[in-house]
């Protein structure tokens, strides 16, 4: 008998019919003799509906109250799934984040889990019940206010709970069949990966693969919880996210990812003196805006330009900060560009194979795509390009590194 | 400086625009130098939307889970009102039932308040904040599960909280201007009452006047909290619900009420022996179904028929119980009738004036309306009739006891 944590996303529980289908899958897992914990997202569209209600009131709604507001979505879907399971005569019980023991810090809308006191869930399992846990939420350890873990936070709820309960596997059910070598909507012959290692998955997630939240992968890696990404709508095996093993080493590039949620800010004519980066980026960090890439031009006449990227959704907040900060720097001004995208190639094989970045730049150049910014890690190369070229770039990179029509990417390094 | 508890119903917060208008009214009360606690219902339609989702899954959704589900509605509206107040620069904070300290028994969907530990609300007031409390909900003192207080439970939340905080007044804001001598949609010349005593209000509420939940009136009476029922949409004074005073004594009938949420169950051929009523009604009570009227026919050949009424919304649950119980009684079977309604007349003056019931029966008979069941209290007479006659009965009784076109009902006893 295994302990299985299953997480179902918003599209998997978007209607009553879909909730019933999820319930049948949960019941099947239970019938197979497993203990089952289900983590569930809000019904598709519900979170957006609540956000737009708040935005009708004010552009910048209070964040404590946003958490109170948004946490209701998972409460609804968890209760509906528990109702369905009980109507099918399976003992089940829904849990809010608080009841499931999720204690977080006090950073509203982006809280981090401090600890999980999951005794109530353990008790439910000991009674033979299926535990249905509202994802995405917890309570502040100090104020006991409701907090949320940020968009996609239910993945993190699931993996963290799997770690706390020492589950055998964490299954992430979604509307795609697993992790692909590229987005199949852009590259029709993209292949589903049977296995991917945690590090690759983390780079792919942070480079725009939407299938898993970065923090959930980080947590799976930290606690050694195998994550099985699979489809709610078929019984096919999906993609196993597992620790790195030798047999994977040959793969140079596992996937090509893209992220259109990107915007660039350029500060012009900044005096090139020590402390200027700190003066620029500290207020950005204080506003909880994540900066991705940074480039600084060669200084001329003691002045330089600094460009950096942020999530496009954070751009309005970033512009507010820049209006305050830029005048204090003695800079000439700033410009913004929201028409950019990031394309990335990810693979553990890059560690031992130089020349991958060069081949990526060549591939993009051959298509006439200008590279605006570059960043690299041990197992990833990312380029910022004009967003109108995104699909073209992804297809070209997939062909170059992974192969056309399903051929394997092995040995294709340039 | 007074402490004012204000309760806003679902129609008062049905849209973002209406929430903004509620926020302005709350702000005005705060600006006048009062401490303000706001109790809020779910946005109009939201509770019904959630119920219908659950009913799509199963006719008899699990009640623990229904409470988890429905409590989300008030969480949303309380967060939205707090967001609005903060956007207007008023310090405000939303509270769930648990955060506001509502500890209840474990009877899901109809929980009763055991105690209120309102320290967090007191702390917020001490900091000068407006406390926005999600109505209708609490937590089970033993399991810490979410509970709800039943439909209209936000009234009870408001009055109970007013009692716990020793508030000066509890204002119930609604979509009508106060308590009327009859439903103005049925009797256009019904009068708004400036004052009504707790006992009358309680009988009127239990007889179908929807303006206040019975338990909230009971609680106001017990703790001596004056309740001001008034409209969200005007500044006019509404109806004050206050302790009985001498000057009210002359009013024979204060109001005519009706209730279509009625259903009748008849058990046929029940052996007429001691203990049979207990055997029948104990399981009904155990299922938390409230029985209103009971009549038993004269016994023939040792067999009798027993009829009783329940809320129409409880009928499916009652039928389940009857299927279990009726065979064990040795009865022949049971029938149900959901096409009935209850009309009532209420007034403290009845205490000292006999003949009121007789005049009521005569009035209904004159309209050709058959009386199916009767119940009386010191200050109320109720008749069950076919529900198609409801409006006719209400108009006839209002004309007979309260007067046509706004004339006073004083001295009209038959």
State ipTM.
0.77
The Cα of B305 is separated from the nearest Cα of chain A by a number of Å equal to 34
Q: What is the pLDDT of residue B413?
A: 35
What sign does the CA torsion over A277, A279, A282, A283 have?
negative
Set of chain A residues whose Cβ sits within 8 Å of the Cβ of B96: 68, 146
Q: What is the pLDDT of residue B68?
A: 96
Residue B52 in contact with partner chain A when CB distance is under 8 A: no
Set of chain A residues whose Cβ sits within 8 Å of the Cβ of B94: 65, 68
Of the candidate ranges B83-97, B284-298, B353-367, the one whose mean pLDDT is the lowest: B284-298
Q: Where are the alpha helices (DSSP H) in B32-135?
A: 46-57, 63-87, 119-126
Which token pair is B66? 């229904």
Q: What is the pLDDT of residue B246?
A: 63
Residue B51 in contact with partner chain A when CB distance is under 8 A: no
Q: What is the pLDDT of residue A408?
A: 45
Count Cα atoms within 13 angstroms, Cβ side, for B176.
18
Of the candidate ranges A361-375, B168-182, B243-257, the one whose mean pLDDT is the lowest: B243-257
Residue of B nearest to A67 (CA): B79
Set of chain A residues whose Cβ sits within 8 Å of the Cβ of B119: none
Going by pLDDT thresholds of 50, 70 and 90, the confidence category of residue B414 is very low
Q: What is the pLDDT of residue A412?
A: 36
CATH superfamily membership of A245-414: VC0802-like (3.30.2130.10)
Hey, is B90 helix, strand or coil?
coil
Are B61 and A83 inside 8 Å of each other by CB?
Answer: yes
Top-level class of domain B247-414? alpha beta
Mean pLDDT of chain B: 90
Are A94 and B56 inside 8 Å of each other by CB?
Answer: no
Out of A60, A79, A84, name the one closest to residue B68 (CB). Answer: A79
Residue B61 in contact with partner chain A when CB distance is under 8 A: yes
Question: If you compute the radius of gyration of chain B from its CA atoms, what whole number of angstroms results?
Answer: 22
Residue A44 in contact with partner chain B when CB distance is under 8 A: no
Residue of B nearest to A58 (CA): B87
Weakly modelled stretches of chain A, pLDDT under 70: 246-250, 405-414
Out of B66, B69, B80, name the one closest to residue A69 (CB). Answer: B80
How remote is the C-alpha of A81 from its chain's centroid?
Answer: 24
Set of chain A residues whose Cβ sits within 8 Å of the Cβ of B75: 68-69, 71-72, 75
Q: What is the pLDDT of residue B286?
A: 87
Going by pLDDT thresholds of 50, 70 and 90, the confidence category of residue B412 is very low
Instruction: Give the model confidence (pLDDT) of B126-142 as tens digits.
Output: 999 999 999 999 999 99
Going by pLDDT thresholds of 50, 70 and 90, the confidence category of residue B406 is very low
Residue A151 in contact with partner chain B when CB distance is under 8 A: no
Set of chain A residues whose Cβ sits within 8 Å of the Cβ of B79: 54, 65-66, 68-69, 72
Q: What is the pLDDT of residue A410?
A: 41
Residue of B nearest to A133 (CA): B68
Sheet holding B255-271, edge to edge: B291-296, B303-310, B255-271, B333-346, B380-386, B373-377
> CA nearest A221: which of A248, A236, A201, A207?
A201
Q: Where are the alpha helices (DSSP H) in A195-301?
A: 198-206, 214-223, 276-286
Q: In what helix (H) or strand (E) does residue B374 lie, and over which residues does it extend?
A: strand B373-377
Does the pLDDT value for residue B391 go beyond 80? yes
CB pairs under 8 A between A and B: 109
Cα–Cα distance measured from residue B387 to residue A115, given in angstroms and rounded to the nearest whole number: 57
Substitution target in A52, A71, A72 with the highest count of B β-carbons within 10 Å is A72
Does the pLDDT value for residue B315 go beyond 60? yes
DSSP per position, B250-277: T-S--EEEEEEEEEEEEEEEEE--TTHH
Substitution target in B17, B49, B76 with the highest count of A β-carbons within 10 Å is B76
Set of chain B residues whose Cβ sits within 8 Å of the Cβ of A20: 57
Q: Where are the alpha helices (DSSP H) in B110-263?
A: 119-126, 153-164, 198-206, 214-223
Query: Which positions ≥6 away from A134 have C-beta within 8 Å?
Result: A40, A71, A74, A75, A77, A78, A94, A95, A96, A97, A100
Q: What is the pLDDT of residue A13?
A: 95
Instruction: Give the model confidence (pLDDT) of B76-90 as tens digits.
Output: 999 999 999 999 999
Strand partners, A147: A138
Residue A51 in contact with partner chain B when CB distance is under 8 A: no
Residue of A nearest to B61 (CA): A83
Residue with tokens 């939340």: B157
Does the pLDDT value for residue B18 go beyond 90? yes
Cα–Cα distance measured from residue B271 to residue B329, given in angstroms and rounded to the nearest whole number: 8
Which token pair is B134? 């999600």
N-term to C-term CA, chain A: 48
Of A139-153, B28-42, B319-333, B393-407, which one has max mean pLDDT?
B28-42
Residue B58 in contact with partner chain A when CB distance is under 8 A: yes
Count Cα atoms within 13 angstroms, Cβ side, for B129.
17
Domain range list for chain B: 3-175, 247-414
Instruction: Give the model confidence (pLDDT) of B292-304 as tens digits.
Output: 888 877 777 888 8
Going by pLDDT thresholds of 50, 70 and 90, the confidence category of residue B393 is very high
Phi, psi of B66 (to 5 degrees): -60, -40
Are B72 and A69 inside 8 Å of each other by CB?
Answer: no
Q: What is the pLDDT of residue B247?
A: 62
Q: What is the pLDDT of residue B191?
A: 93
The answer to whether domain B3-175 has CATH 1.20.1250.20 is no
Residue B48 in contact with partner chain A when CB distance is under 8 A: no
Going by pLDDT thresholds of 50, 70 and 90, the confidence category of residue B317 is very high
Set of chain B residues whose Cβ sits within 8 Å of the Cβ of A119: none
Set of chain B residues whose Cβ sits within 8 Å of the Cβ of A65: 79-80, 82-83, 86, 94
Residue of B nearest to A145 (CA): B99
Residue B125 in contact with partner chain A when CB distance is under 8 A: no
Are B87 and A62 inside 8 Å of each other by CB?
Answer: yes
């Amino acid at each position: 008998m295994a302990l299985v944590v299953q997480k179902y996303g918003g599209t998997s529980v978007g209607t009553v019919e879909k909730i019933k289908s999820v319930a049948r899958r949960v019941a099947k897992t239970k019938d197979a003799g497993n203990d089952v914990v289900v983590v569930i997202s809000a019904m598709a569209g519900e979170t957006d509906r609540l956000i737009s209600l708040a935005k009708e009131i004010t552009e910048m709604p209070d964040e404590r109250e946003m958490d109170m507001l948004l946490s209701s979505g998972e409460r609804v879907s968890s209760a509906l799934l528990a109702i369905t399971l009980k109507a099918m005569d399976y003992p089940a019980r829904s849990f809010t984040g608080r009841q499931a023991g999720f204690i977080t810090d006090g950073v509203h809308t982006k809280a981090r889990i401090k600890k999980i006191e999951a005794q109530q869930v353990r008790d439910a399992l000991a009674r033979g019940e299926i535990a249905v846990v509202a994802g995405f939420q917890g309570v502040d350890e100090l104020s006991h206010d409701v907090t949320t873990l940020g968009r996609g936070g239910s993945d993190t709820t699931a993996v963290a709970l799997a770690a706390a309960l020492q589950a055998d596997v964490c299954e992430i059910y979604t509307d795609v069949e697993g992790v692909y070598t590229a987005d199949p909507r852009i590259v029709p012959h993209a292949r589903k990966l049977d296995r991917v290692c945690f590090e690759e998955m983390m780079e792919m997630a942070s480079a725009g693969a939407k299938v898993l939240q970065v923090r959930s992968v980080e947590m799976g890696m930290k606690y050694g919880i195998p994550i099985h990404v699979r489809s709610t709508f078929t019984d096919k095996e999906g993609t196993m996210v597992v620790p790195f093993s030798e047999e994977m080493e040959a793969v140079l590039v596992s996937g090509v990812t893209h992220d259109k949620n990107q915007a660039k800010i350029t500060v012009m004519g900044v005096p090139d003196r020590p402390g200027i980066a700190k003066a620029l980026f500290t207020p950005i960090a204080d506003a909880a805006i994540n900066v991705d890439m940074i480039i600084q031009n060669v200084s001329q006449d003691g002045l330089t330009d600094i460009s950096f990227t942020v999530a496009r959704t954070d751009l309005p907040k970033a512009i507010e900060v820049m209006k305050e900060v830029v005048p204090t720097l003695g800079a000439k001004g700033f410009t913004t560009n929201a028409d950019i995208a990031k394309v990335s190639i990810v693979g553990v094989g890059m560690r031992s194979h130089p020349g991958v970045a060069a081949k990526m730049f060549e591939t993009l150049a051959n298509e006439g795509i200008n590279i605006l910014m570059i960043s690299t890690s041990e197992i990833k190369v990312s380029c910022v390009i004009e967003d109108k070229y995104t699909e073209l770039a992804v297809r070209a990179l997939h062909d170059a590194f992974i192969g056309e029509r399903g051929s394997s990417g092995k040995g294709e390094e340039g």
